[in-house]
Chains A and B, each alone.
Chain A
Amino acid sequence: MSGVDFEKEFGLLFSGREEASERAPSSLKARLYSALIRKQQESGPLASLDESVALGHAICVFEKLVQIAPVGEKAKSPFFCQVCHARVLAEHLDNPPIFWPHCPYVAFKNS
């Protein structure tokens, strides 16, 4: 078989592989989110919850408790999801039993 033939033959065989649009597993999204937040924290605190709300973002019930507490901006900047069971479940399960409104980990499950 000539070189040209096998080049054409393999080219035809592999050209049929079309890229299917696939959703990333929600557990992967959860782990990516946690990893990206950790990276963001390496260069200083996150934007505070007050700033998130001012930008029009909704926050979960736990974050709301912190946001309305009479504490300084600095106390509203930590990544509260770090200590939340929703994060742990979402990072390990693709259909985690979590249902809090405005929780990013719940949104990954539904996205």
Chain B
Amino acid sequence: MHSPVQFSRGTDIGAADEQRLVAEVLAKDRKATAEFVARCADWLYSFVRHRLAPRTEIVEDLVQEALLAAWQGLPSFRADANLRSWVLGIARHKVEDYYRRRIREAESSEEEDSAPQLAVMPMFEQQSDSAIQQERVQATLALLPEAYGLALLWRYRDGKSAREMAQLTGKTEKAIERLLARARENFRRRWNDVRR
């Protein structure tokens, strides 16, 4: 017997428990399914929200997409895998799909723009309080066109190279570099607006 319906939220459970949970979800047990949702939802929500902040309006849709994809893929879940890592791997793909779609959609208008001027701009001043600095980064990102914000996050937070971004979006590396240059210019301008 295992403890019913009281979910130990967000914590990793043992491999045997995970296997039991997966088997019961695959057998369409409603209570096991509730436990699966309670566990995965917290993992997915944190992960997706962090990657889309400050634009959070799409978070719940992506969490649902990732959860349903995880459930569909459960038959391939291996006994030696960790459920959390496995589920977040699926979420990572969903988030990247979203980045890719949004950046690709921005393509037509971007291509028409001329290349940005590579003006010599002052460095961002160092903020002693990193929490305040991160709030300012969020506030600045919120003011940017979505494709610019996502491109910056993909490049500088997730560490994707311009070449990888180009491959993933089907754009040329040059086009991605132009997009990033425009995004950086916009970010700098907005950064100063936020300060005021």
Contact = CB atoms under 8 A, between A and B. Distances in A.
Contacts of A9: 123-124
B130 to A, nearest CB: 5
A102 B37 contact: no
Interface stretch (B98-106, B108-116, B152-160, B164-172): B152-160
A75 to B, nearest CB: 15
B46 interface: yes
A11 interface: yes
Contacts of A31: 60, 64
A13 B34 contact: no
B45 A13 contact: no
B28 A29 contact: no
Interface in B74-119: none
Given A46-B30, A104-B34, A36 B45 contact: no
Contacts of B7: 107, 111
A19 B9 contact: no
B109 to A, nearest CB: 23
A2 to B, nearest CB: 10
B192 interface: no
B156 A102 contact: no
Interface in B10-61: 10, 24, 27-34, 36-38, 41-42, 44-47, 49-50, 53, 60
B5 A58 contact: yes
Interface of A: 1, 5-6, 9-11, 13-17, 19-25, 28-29, 31-33, 35-37, 39-40, 44-47, 51-52, 55-59, 79, 81, 102-104, 107-108, 110-111
Interface of B: 1-2, 4-7, 9-10, 24, 27-34, 36-38, 41-42, 44-47, 49-50, 53, 60, 63-64, 67-68, 71, 120-121, 123-124, 130, 133-134, 137, 152-153, 155-157, 184, 187
